[in-house]
Structure 1
Amino acid sequence: MSWPFSTSNKIVVVTGGGSGIGLSYATLAVANGAKAVVIGDIALTDEAQKIVTETTNLTFQHCDVTQWADLQRLIDVCITKFGNVPDIYVASAGVFEPPYSNFWEDPEPLESNGYKHVDINVNHPIKFTRLAIRALLGKQKHGVVALVSSIAGYSKQYPAPIYSATKHAVVGFTRSLGDAQRFQGVKVIGVCPGIVSTPIWTTSTPGSGERFGIGEDISITPEVVAKTISDGIESPEYPGGTILEVSKLGTRVVPEWFIHPPGMVDGKMPEGTDVPEHMIIKSLEPIMNVTKRERGNMA
């Protein structure tokens, strides 16, 4: 069982709101009548800075999502500036096998005792959700948490195994919290985009767009994903625990069991969805170079 949840006159907080999907959702929330929107990020793009400057009810708050105190500060800012805790929480900050934390190049020293990649993509949405539930219970309010995962959350990604693992984690976490709507009055949903044209392919992991053949022909825009997030938040059609997929092939609710690939009809994939062989080779090339150096080398 679910309920409608209009964005109108609500307080909204978005991690990763400085660019891409997060920024697109933040501006959509403003357009949908949100009372106030706070975007948390480590920095703003020029586009985001211009939007924040020109939009009276859009506020930027510096936030490193690996720091739990920064996540709590997003909620505290809403209380201080707008007199209440947020009603809507969107966790869109994420990275894709960045040069400072990835599986195959393995740049982090043993003393790190963990992957920053996992801190950003997994620990951040989990802790953000816990803080959201606590804040909403404290004010005895209903609310919605939307977590941005990926189609990689239920598919294999050999060149990007940590990214895939983190998105699997978000899908499992979202499903596990489905009953929070019934017990705590907090709806937790997940949105799983396909390939999206965002800075994750350029500034976050330089060169990855070319390596994986990311182009407009297979990508959707951040605005399309933002609309899906908004629909998931507002519509009673999507109860807690729902996983909403959005890609070039359309939107669907992903079932818990026996997940078919996007766009499959009668056991067949649409024409043109196969990855070209030359792109597979190109995506694997850096991995083969690294493991070639390691073979037989115990230094």
Structure 2
Amino acid sequence: MPLGHFPLNGKIAVVTGAGSGINLSFAKLAIEQGARVVIADLKLTAEGEAFVKETDSRSVVFTKCDVTKRADLENLVQASLDAFQDVPDVWVAGAGVFEPSWSNFWDDTEGDGYSQVDINVTHPMKLSRIAIRSLLGRNKKGVILCVSSLAGFQGTFSAPLYCASKHAVIGFVRSLAELERLEGIKVVGIAPGLVRTPLWTDYPEKMEQFGYTMESSITAEDVAKAMADAITDGKVLGGLSVSVSTSGTRLLGTWNIEAPKEDGTSVPKEVIERNYAPIITTMKKERSRL
């Protein structure tokens, strides 16, 4: 049967990628709502470090975690046991990257595979399996939330690897819908549009290429609230994803999803041309080289 209302108060949450951005905002909100949180990331930003220092150690702990390493993901269970004497009730697979220079389709600098896929796809799948095993082992109900993107419902010529990775997350979440009925473990997704986070604001060249503006973006706090609602609201059933953008929030089912039309959800022609320019240049260099 459905999990039903699942308040964060009194729960333990582990959040990957919570050193900054939307996942740090969610960690803050979860603590405000009475949860205890394991922040998992490679490192803390100055904001994240200040938050951990200023928050009661009985409510938050930081654990260094490389999400591409299974041992680091498995260690999150022990980190929760050490800090809070139980396994997490809520698991947020939040860590992700957006077409970094060291791992993307068009530059294609990697020999075997793509690190972006390891981070954006393999990590939420591995973490979810660890979560299921841990929850069942403690005979607990719980929620797994995987961070996807509106890019998981569309394609972008200049960011095919990122879009493919986020499509994979949506498909993974949909595939685990039955887990809520069978075992009381709800798996849901969150699909933000453009968000004001370091993923964008630390890279002005990407902001220009993809037509990012403050008017077309939402805040990390907006996404964090939608994440908390997706976890706690019994009406958000396993297998569903919640989109959040300048047009607000809505549940995304499996079939016949109408595209949103507000700022930040459509791309002007001139932005598309600017967006494609570096890829067109790359392909021109490759033409007739062999």
Report the number of matched residues.
287
What is the aligned partner in structure 2 of residue 52 from structure 1? 52
Once the two structures are superposed, residues 82-141 of structure 1 have per-residue CA deviations (whole angstroms, 9 ceiling, x without a partner) of: 1100010011100011100000111112xxx21000000000000000000000000000
Give yes or no for the alignment of 1:66 onto 2:68: yes
- Tell me how far 1:182 sits from its aligned partner: 1.2
Amino acid of the structure 2 residue aligned with 1:175? R
Give yes or no for the alignment of 1:141 onto 2:133: no
Query: SS at 1:246's partner residue?
Result: strand
Query: SS at 1:100's partner residue?
Result: coil
Which consecutive unaligned segments of at least 5 residues does structure 1 have? Answer: 263-268
For the aligned residue pairs, the C-alpha RMSD in angstroms reads 1.4
- Tell me how far 1:276 sits from its aligned partner: 2.3
Give yes or no for the alignment of 1:84 onto 2:86: yes
C-alpha distance in structure 2 between counterparts of 1:209 and 1:251, whole Å: 23
Amino acid of the structure 2 residue aligned with 1:214? Y
C-alpha distance in structure 1 between counterparts of 2:262 and 2:80, whole Å: 46
Give yes or no for the alignment of 1:277 onto 2:273: no
C-alpha distance in structure 1 between counterparts of 2:85 and 2:174, whole Å: 31
Answer yes or no: is the 8 Å Cα contact 1:196–1:221 preserved in 2.
yes
Identity %: 48
- Tell me how far 1:208 sits from its aligned partner: 1.1
What is the aligned partner in structure 2 of residue 174 from structure 1? 173
What is the aligned partner in structure 2 of residue 248 from structure 1? 246
- Give 1:4-153 correspondences, 5 Å limit: 4-34=5-35, 36-56=36-56, 57-109=59-111, 113-153=112-152
- Give 1:133-212 correspondences, 5 Å limit: 133-203=132-202, 207-212=205-210
Change in 2 beyond 3 A, CA 1:174/1:259:
same
Amino acid of the structure 2 residue aligned with 1:76? Q
Once the two structures are superposed, residues 179-217 of structure 1 have per-residue CA deviations (whole angstroms, 9 ceiling, x without a partner) of: 1111122100001011111111244x6621221121110
Q: Please list every run of at least 4 consecutive aligned residues from structure 1 whose deviation after the TM superposition is greater than 6 angstroms.
A: none
C-alpha distance in structure 2 between counterparts of 1:217 and 1:283, whole Å: 18
C-alpha distance in structure 2 between counterparts of 1:224 and 1:81, whole Å: 29
- Tell me how far 1:270 sits from its aligned partner: 5.2
Once the two structures are superposed, residues 135-184 of structure 1 have per-residue CA deviations (whole angstroms, 9 ceiling, x without a partner) of: 00000000100111001111011110000000000000001101111112
Which consecutive unaligned segments of at least 5 residues does structure 2 have? Answer: none
What is the aligned partner in structure 2 of residue 216 from structure 1? 214
After TM superposition, the structure 1 stretch with the greater mean CA deviation from structure 2, 74-83 or 223-232, is 74-83
TM-score between the two structures when normalised by the length of structure 2: 0.96
Answer yes or no: is the 8 Å Cα contact 2:186–2:237 preserved in 1.
yes
Answer yes or no: is the 8 Å Cα contact 1:2–1:238 preserved in 2.
no
Change in 2 beyond 3 A, CA 1:283/1:182:
same
Change in 2 beyond 3 A, CA 1:278/1:177:
same
- Tell me how far 1:272 sits from its aligned partner: 8.9
What is the aligned partner in structure 2 of residue 266 from structure 1? none
Once the two structures are superposed, residues 237-258 of structure 1 have per-residue CA deviations (whole angstroms, 9 ceiling, x without a partner) of: 1111111111100111112111
After TM superposition, the structure 1 stretch with the greater mean CA deviation from structure 2, 163-172 or 182-191, is 182-191
Query: SS at 2:130's partner residue?
Result: helix
Answer yes or no: is the 8 Å Cα contact 1:30–1:37 preserved in 2.
yes
Answer yes or no: is the 8 Å Cα contact 1:2–1:237 preserved in 2.
no
C-alpha distance in structure 1 between counterparts of 2:169 and 2:63, whole Å: 24
C-alpha distance in structure 2 between counterparts of 1:136 and 1:272, whole Å: 38
Query: SS at 1:122's partner residue?
Result: helix
Query: SS at 2:66's partner residue?
Result: coil
Change in 2 beyond 3 A, CA 1:183/1:213:
same
Answer yes or no: is the 8 Å Cα contact 2:193–2:265 preserved in 1.
no
- Give 1:253-268 correspondences, 5 Å limit: 253-262=251-260
Query: SS at 1:13's partner residue?
Result: strand
Change in 2 beyond 3 A, CA 1:247/1:280:
same
